[in-house]
Amino acid sequence: MTTESEFDLDGRAWGPVPGRGRIRVSPEDFRVREDLGHCPDGEGEHLWLWVEKRERNTVDVASDLARAAGVHPRQVSFAGLKDRNAVTEQYFSLHLPGSSDPDWRAWELEGVRIHRAERASRKIRRGRLKGNRFELRIRELDADRDALTERLERVRAGGVPNGFGQQRFGGNNLARARALFAGQLRRSPSKSKKGFYLSAARSLIFNQVLARRIAEGSWNRLLPGDVAMLDGTHSFFVADPDDTEQQRRCEAMDLHPTGPLVGLGEVPVTGEVLALETEVAEGEADLVEGLKRFRLEHQRRALRMRVLDLEWGFTGPDTLELRFGLGQGSYATSVLREILDLID
């Protein structure tokens, strides 16, 4: 059984990294801008707020907005959780049926700036976003620039493993998932906390499968029995590794091999892929059984992510600046671990 401190991937997909640096010296070193993929339509009973937050938890900001607007927290929605130790921008929606716009310009919320408000006919739904754009600054850089540039070019061309980042496991979520499944929690968790625990359990198993595929050199190619996912979607199908067109599309990152998000239902992989995923699942039998008992459905997640529009620049002798986009559910920290060792 894996301990909570061992959730991370072991090796690097593109080999040893060419150096190290320090991230998040200040919140401004880690900037995130949400891309929902759609805009408010200008009318309706929902008020969308474009919010910039600094060193604030997304859930806490949602609670602050509910208090300021005088509504129940259930009337505040957002698409995704954003990093706390960062400067991030994202939409929140307030459900205000039959009400006029509150005086949001007068609100004084710690670490929060509301840039604009627009009406919409629908609320923002959790998980419904296209992705995020990142602007990162890495300081105290200690790396050969030629080797680092070569690594960045490889990441831009070939992507990186789509592992779950450390924030998915924060706050002892994995230990609490095990306690939840064993009936050892002293009190029943809220719906949102239970969701964090279940997600951590699923993420651990996925990361372990991904780590095996990295070690075997198959994280970015189709194996017999694999299920392939179309880039930028959740659509998948049983792959044929002997199909040269599928292999070409995989090399072009139009298709990606997938790993399991464990739950009930048919497991679509077969052959050696099924054997690998079964072996990992058997090593975490308590998590697998717990996830099934809570009625989660089996899903698939791409093992590889495309790093969109990756650009970089060196500012001064020891600072690297990165700009890139990621699809929904992918982590910037998973990109960084393929580029540099990060100093705490």
Active site residues: 83
Question: Using only C-alpha atoms, what is the Rg of the chain?
Answer: 21
CA pseudo-torsion sign 98, 103, 108, 114:
positive
Burial category of 167 from C-beta neighbours within 10 Å (exposed 0-12, middle 13-18, buried 19 and up): middle
DSSP designation for 184: -
Q: Which H or E run includes 214? A: helix 191-216
- Whole-angstrom distance between the N-terminal and C-terminal Cα of the chain? 27
* d(C-alpha 264, C-alpha 262), whole Å: 7
Residue 61 contacts residue 121 (beta carbons within 8 Å): no
Q: What are the structure tokens assigned to 327, written together?
A: 């699809």
- Are 338 and 326 a contacting pair, CB within 8 Å? no
Residue 138 in contact with residue 320, Cβ under 8 Å?
A: yes
**Cβ pair 102, 70 in contact under 8 A:** yes
- Cβ atoms of 140 and 343 closer than 8 Å: yes
CA pair distance 37, 199, nearest whole angstrom: 24
